[in-house]
């Protein structure tokens, strides 16, 4: 608001060596300066934005976008909170962007953004999870929150744009996003425009009118100009506010302002060049030289300026420039860091390039050396690139790789690799290997092997006995084993189990006895290969060695994260209590650390949450997923970011929130990248299971067709989840008496045969968890055939045969009414009585036995009335077609073919 002091907040960082480039601060609240020209015609145009999701102010540089928004948003008497974020090029990196957004929100509305900031504590960042958390926090915020993203074009890119589109689509109705940008952002503007959810201000709107230009030049700038001079200057500048500001600066102290204005001509680019030349010519030579030479810097501080210019008065000059209002913006309260106004910096750089092109690389090189000496490695790399010294940049990256891997700042490394020229990467075997990793996590599998082969050729080209020409680092010394590990990962991503095992064995042979990281990785891939093959005893034994090797290497974060994978294997072995013991013990160890390990802690919370959901403790599951979100899951590998969304989807399904489950699975699919773990639970099949539970069997049948899943397939562990999903579909179709086309007659018999083959394979592979599920589905299939005694026996085998039956609940209860009926039958006939009673008496069983959604329960209650179909539709404010859809799904779930039969069955199951 007018008169308020500008508030700055330090840009958050992780506190370690590699995070120090984040030392600069950002402006999160912009005050409205006294004396600005009021623009009521534009603020009136913006006022309807209160009912929109986005207000867009888009125009070239210098059109007064920021000032207009400050006037509109800080109007007297308007106490609604405003989170103002002035962006810079560093924000084009998603982790930095969302950290800045969360900090701005937290500054404006205490409590909002706090969980997201914890989530964003280090890289890599799961953007989808951050956005979900921000949306949830904003939903609980006071009405009227407005988030302003100033200079958005500096951060706009594919990754940031996708995240912003998602945020805007899910924005709570009382929150408004305001974007100020020089170019239209890559957002679905036409969609929002058609919906009436977009308010726009364009360059034509922002241009100063003749009256506004006169008010600015005479009242704000304090110039004594004739009306004809004002009109001429307004005409020459075409209302461009920045040009008027520069003209006013040059006009100060001139004895002949009319003559200056008369000579003021040309298009915008020439006008600005001329004005800046006039401004610079009126500065003493030392100041002019300082401005030009420091223009290569994105952020300025006294010692850095001294290193670049060769002077010793950098701090004093920066303070003087601020006092003179010479286009410098302070970035912290201590006035230690500054930046130039973006327009001014652009012009200064153009002038430097025009006048002293030979100095540009020299200045960048000085900045790179100073940044390296002060542990600002990212700045050092970027300035080396700007200097054209790609060899220096590559050398800096090589030296930084061990620290980056140890601190798991993968995003920083990937950003550097993307900036380096391809030939520089190919000359460095270390960079070639990790560029292969960059392609792997991006899902570009075809580009990985050429990078690994290039690295091998470079290593082989070094004459025996000669020192290699690259940075001497631990990464270089262990590179052959690393290459083999990434080949194992590539084979894993392609589903090549034999190749995974072969490359992992090679890595184990290449790793030295003390190279615990490589040995642990090799053992891990051998274990994962055995898991993919379905050989669980071997997988458990081998992957256990991975955890031990990581412990020996002192890599606690990866040790704890690997415990999550080991727990998954114990689940497959039918030992959910053993899995819980492992992850809870690891969680206690993680939380007891003096130095936090949020990566591992978040993964472990997700794992415990999934175990809680299985035993029916949905509140506990939710708490653990919320804890994981607060920790940002920053420890999760890039290709494994989807796991939080999968766990959230399963929780939503357990609560009969099928739409929410599908939405979470959609996000999981977007986040999933193949690479480091076998895909034993394909997301597409999980989605099909939700459709089956929802009664949308047609959608599930489409899935089976697209995945080419049939009961005649050869059974393998990697297809087991698909096959068990198909089994559920065929049983549901049979019960609904609307099975597949005639050529699929006898599908239920084929389903029983498929289950027999799956059972045999699971028994052979030691996968007791699969055996429990298969016997459960055998019981349902037999019951669907009308063979209740055999179904009862199969259900008893599933219950009693589970190694740890106390660890199961949702596996059974998620099957809904048919399974509950079987449990009651088993109880009546004395089969697994205690276990059946435990499941029937659980809160989960009492909640929604037929897995009906809340809306379906509403429809069911009205079906148990004298109302007609059209009357029920009117009661629920839905169309008759929508009511028919709900009724059809209710009939499917209750195995009924009429309204009366559905009501009778619902009463039997305690739904009415």
**Over 797-816, what HEC string results?**
HHHHHCCCHHHCCHHHHCCC
Q: Is the pLDDT of residue 16 over 50?
A: no
Q: Please provide residue 338's backbone torsions phi and psi, each rounded to the nearest 5 degrees.
A: -135, 170
Tell me the pLDDT band of 90, cut-offs 50, 70 and 90: confident
The sign of the dihedral angle between the CA atoms of 855, 858, 864, 865 is negative
Q: What pLDDT was estimated at residue 623?
A: 93
Q: What pLDDT was estimated at residue 409?
A: 67
- Compute the distance between CA of residue 330 and CA of residue 345 in angstroms, rounded to an integer: 14
Q: What pLDDT was estimated at residue 12?
A: 32
Q: Within 13 Å of residue 131, how many CA atoms lie on the same side as its CB?
A: 22
Q: What pLDDT was estimated at residue 142?
A: 77
Cβ–Cβ under 8 Å, residues 879 and 849: no
126 SS3 class: coil
Cβ–Cβ under 8 Å, residues 112 and 147: no
Pairing of strands 145-150, 175-181: parallel
Mean pLDDT check: name the lowest of 279-288, 405-414, 422-431, 818-827.
405-414
Q: Longest C-alpha distance within the chain, in Å?
A: 109
Pairing of strands 175-181, 54-58: parallel
The sign of the dihedral angle between the CA atoms of 407, 408, 411, 417 is positive
User: Which among 389, 54, 25, 334 is positioned nearest to 197, based on CA atoms?
Assistant: 54
Tell me the pLDDT band of 22, cut-offs 50, 70 and 90: very low
Tokens of 811: 């596996």
**Rounded alpha-carbon distances, angstroms, from residue 753 to 498, 746, 835:** 29, 11, 27
Tokens of 460: 């082989």
Q: Is the pLDDT of residue 557 over 60?
A: yes
Q: Is the pLDDT of residue 726 over 90?
A: yes
Look up the pTM and report it.
Answer: 0.58
- Compute the distance between CA of residue 231 and CA of residue 239 in angstroms, rounded to an integer: 10
780 C-beta neighbours (distance < 10 Å), count: 25
158-172, 225-239, 293-307, 308-322: range with highest mean pLDDT = 293-307
b vs e for 664-685, b when ≥16 Cβ sit within 10 Å of the residue's Cβ?
Answer: bbebbbebbbbbbbbbbebbeb
Select the more confidently predicted residue: 214 or 29.
214
Mean pLDDT throughout 69-85?
80
Q: What is the pLDDT of residues 110-148, one digit of tens each?
A: 888 888 888 887 666 678 888 999 999 999 887 778 899
- Compute the distance between CA of residue 606 and CA of residue 628 in angstroms, rounded to an integer: 6
Give residue 355's region: left, alpha or beta (phi > 0; psi -120 to 50).
alpha
DSSP element (H, E) containing 58: strand 54-58
Cis peptide before 208 (omega within 30 of 0): no
> For the chain, what's the residue count?
912
Tokens of 752: 């029983």
Cβ–Cβ under 8 Å, residues 151 and 87: yes
Cβ–Cβ under 8 Å, residues 318 and 308: no
CB neighbour list of residue 858: distance below 8 Å, 6 or more residues apart? 876
Q: What pLDDT was estimated at residue 745?
A: 44
Cβ–Cβ under 8 Å, residues 483 and 452: yes
In 3-state terms the chain splits into helix, strand, coil percentages (rounded to 5) of: 65, 5, 30
CA 760 to chain centroid: 41
Beta strand ranges found along 71-192 (DSSP E): 82-86, 145-150, 175-181
Q: Within 13 Å of residue 793, how many CA atoms lie on the same side as its CB?
A: 4
- Compute the distance between CA of residue 820 and CA of residue 796 in angstroms, rounded to an integer: 13
89 C-beta neighbours (distance < 10 Å), count: 14
Select the more confidently predicted residue: 532 or 22.
532
Q: Is the pLDDT of residue 240 over 60?
A: yes
Mean pLDDT check: name the lowest of 77-91, 254-268, 593-607, 765-779.
254-268
- Compute the distance between CA of residue 178 and CA of residue 440 in angstroms, rounded to an integer: 36
Mean pLDDT check: name the lowest of 152-156, 567-571, 840-844, 886-890.
840-844
The 8 Å CB, 24+ separation contacts for 500-504 are 500/525, 500/528, 500/529, 500/532, 501/525, 501/526, 501/529, 501/530, 504/529
Q: What pLDDT was estimated at residue 702?
A: 95
307-311, 463-467, 848-852: range with highest mean pLDDT = 307-311
DSSP element (H, E) containing 28: strand 25-29
Mean pLDDT throughout 591-601?
72
Select the more confidently predicted residue: 791 or 900.
791
Select the more confidently predicted residue: 409 or 437.
437
User: Which among 732, 661, 663, 665 is positioned nearest to 697, based on CA atoms?
Assistant: 732
Mean pLDDT throughout 402-412?
69
- Compute the distance between CA of residue 851 and CA of residue 218 in angstroms, rounded to an integer: 72
Q: What pLDDT was estimated at residue 511?
A: 85
Q: What pLDDT was estimated at residue 720?
A: 96
- Compute the distance between CA of residue 685 and CA of residue 468 in angstroms, rounded to an integer: 50
Return the percentage of the chain with pLDDT > 70, whole number: 85
17 C-beta neighbours (distance < 10 Å), count: 14
Q: Please provide residue 274's backbone torsions phi and psi, each rounded to the nearest 5 degrees.
A: -65, -45
Q: What pLDDT was estimated at residue 512?
A: 80
**Rounded alpha-carbon distances, angstroms, from residue 496 to 491, 502, 679:** 5, 10, 12
Mean pLDDT check: name the lowest of 183-192, 341-350, 361-370, 787-796.
341-350
Tokens of 730: 């065929």
DSSP for residue 218 = I
Pairing of strands 25-29, 7-10: antiparallel
Select the more confidently predicted residue: 557 or 645.
645
Cβ–Cβ under 8 Å, residues 511 and 496: no
- Compute the distance between CA of residue 602 and CA of residue 647 in angstroms, rounded to an integer: 13
Average pLDDT, the chain: 82
Beta strand ranges found along 324-461 (DSSP E): 328-330, 337-340
The 8 Å CB, 24+ separation contacts for 449-458 are 449/487, 449/490, 451/425, 452/483, 452/486, 452/487, 454/426, 454/429, 455/429, 455/430, 455/479, 455/483, 456/429, 456/480, 456/483, 458/426, 458/427, 458/428, 458/429, 458/432
- Compute the distance between CA of residue 695 and CA of residue 678 in angstroms, rounded to an integer: 30
CB neighbour list of residue 871: distance below 8 Å, 6 or more residues apart? none
Which residues are registered as beta bridge partners of 10? Answer: 25
């Amino acid at each position: 608001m007018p008169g308020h002091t500008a508030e700055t907040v330090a840009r958050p960082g992780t506190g370690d060596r590699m995070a120090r480039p984040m030392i600069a601060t950002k402006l999160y609240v912009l005050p409205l300066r006294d004396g600005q020209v009021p623009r009521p015609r534009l603020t009136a145009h913006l006022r309807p934005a209160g009912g929109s999701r986005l207000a867009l102010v888009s125009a070239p540089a210098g059109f007064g976008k920021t000032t207009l928004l400050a006037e509109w948003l800080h109007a007297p008497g308007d106490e609604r909170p405003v989170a103002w974020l002035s962006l810079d090029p560093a924000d084009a990196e998603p982790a930095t962007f969302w950290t800045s957004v969360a900090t701005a929100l937290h500054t404006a509305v205490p409590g909002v953004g706090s969980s997201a900031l914890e989530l964003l504590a280090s890289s890599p960042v799961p953007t989808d999870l951050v956005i979900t958390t921000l949306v949830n926090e904003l939903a609980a915020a006071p009405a009227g929150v407005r988030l302003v993203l100033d200079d958005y074009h500096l951060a706009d890119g594919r990754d940031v744009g996708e995240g912003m589109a998602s945020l805007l689509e899910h924005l709570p109705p009382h929150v408004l996003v305001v974007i100020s940008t020089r170019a239209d952002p890559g957002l679905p503007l036409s969609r929002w425009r058609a919906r009436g959810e977009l308010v726009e201000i364009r360059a034509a709107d922002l241009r100063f009118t003749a009256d506004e230009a006169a008010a600015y030049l005479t009242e704000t700038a304090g110039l004594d100009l004739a009306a004809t001079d004002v009109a001429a200057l307004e005409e020459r500048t075409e209302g461009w506010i920045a040009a008027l500001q520069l003209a006013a600066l040059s006009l100060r102290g001139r004895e002949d302002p009319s003559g200056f204005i008369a000579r003021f001509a040309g298009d915008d680019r020439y006008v600005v060049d001329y004005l800046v030349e006039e401004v610079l010519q009126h500065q003493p030579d030392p100041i002019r030289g300082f401005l030009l030479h420091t223009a290569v810097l994105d952020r300025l501080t006294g010692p850095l300026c001294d290193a670049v210019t060769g002077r010793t008065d950098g701090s004093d000059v920066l303070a003087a420039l601020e006092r003179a209002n010479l286009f410098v913006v302070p970035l912290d309260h201590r006035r230690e860091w500054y930046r130039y106004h973006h327009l001014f910096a652009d012009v200064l750089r153009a002038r430097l390039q025009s006048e002293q092109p030979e100095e540009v690389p020299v200045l960048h090189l000085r900045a790179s050396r100073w940044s390296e000496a002060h542990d600002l490695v990212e700045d050092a790399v970027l300035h080396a690139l700007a200097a054209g010294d790609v060899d220096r940049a590559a050398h800096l990256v090589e030296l930084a790789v061990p620290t980056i891997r140890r601190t798991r700042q993968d995003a920083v490394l990937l950003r550097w690799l993307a900036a380096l020229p391809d030939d520089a990467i190919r000359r460095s075997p270390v960079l070639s290997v990790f560029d292969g990793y960059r392609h792997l996590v991006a899902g570009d599998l075809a580009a990985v092997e050429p990078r690994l082969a290039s690295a091998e050729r470079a290593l082989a080209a070094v004459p025996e006995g000669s020192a290699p020409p690259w940075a001497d680092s631990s990464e270089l010394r262990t590179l052959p084993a690393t290459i083999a590990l990434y080949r194992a990962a590539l084979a894993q991503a392609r589903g090549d189990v034999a190749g995974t095992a072969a490359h992992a064995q090679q890595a184990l042979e290449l790793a030295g006895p003390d190279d615990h990281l490589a040995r642990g990785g090799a053992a891990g891939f051998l274990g994962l290969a055995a898991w993919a093959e379905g050989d669980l005893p071997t997988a458990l034994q081998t992957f256990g060695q991975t955890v031990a090797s990581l412990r020996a290497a002192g890599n606690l974060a990866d040790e704890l994260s690997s415990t999550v994978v080991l727990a998954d294997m114990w689940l497959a072995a039918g030992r959910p209590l053993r899995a819980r013991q492992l992850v809870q013990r690891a969680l206690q160890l993680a939380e007891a650390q003096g130095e936090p390990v949020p990566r591992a802690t978040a993964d472990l919370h997700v794992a415990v949450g999934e175990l809680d959901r299985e035993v029916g403790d949905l509140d506990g599951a939710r708490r653990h997923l919320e804890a994981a979100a607060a920790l940002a899951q920053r420890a999760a590998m890039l290709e494994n970011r989807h796991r939080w969304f999968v766990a959230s989807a399963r929780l939503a399904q357990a609560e009969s929130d099928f739409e929410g489950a599908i939405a979470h699975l959609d996000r999981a699919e977007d986040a999933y990248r193949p690479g480091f773990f076998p895909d034993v639970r394909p997301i597409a099949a999980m989605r099909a299971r939700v459709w089956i539970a929802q009664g949308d069997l047609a959608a599930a049948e489409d899935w089976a067709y697209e995945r080419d899943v049939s009961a005649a397939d050869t059974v393998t562990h990697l297809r087991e989840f698909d096959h068990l999903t198909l089994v559920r579909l065929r049983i549901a179709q049979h019960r609904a008496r609307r099975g597949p086309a005639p050529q699929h007659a006898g599908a239920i018999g084929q389903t029983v045969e498929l289950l027999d083959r799956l059972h045999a394979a699971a028994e052979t592979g030691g996968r007791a968890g699969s055996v429990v599920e298969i016997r459960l589905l055998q019981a349902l299939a037999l019951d669907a055939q009308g063979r209740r005694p055999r179904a009862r026996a199969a259900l008893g085998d599933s219950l009693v045969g589970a190694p740890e039956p106390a660890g199961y609940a949702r596996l059974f209860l998620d099957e809904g009414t048919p399974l509950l009926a079987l449990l009651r039958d088993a109880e009546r006939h004395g089969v697994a009585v205690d276990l059946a009673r435990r499941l029937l008496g659980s809160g989960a069983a009492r909640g929604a036995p037929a897995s009906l959604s809340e809306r379906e329960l509403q429809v069911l209650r009205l079906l148990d009335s004298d109302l007609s179909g059209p009357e029920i539709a009117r009661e629920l404010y839905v169309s008759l077609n929508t009511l028919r859809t709900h009724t059809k799904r209710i009939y499917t779930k209750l195995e009924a073919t009429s309204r009366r039969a559905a009501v009778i069955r619902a009463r039997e199951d305690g739904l009415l």
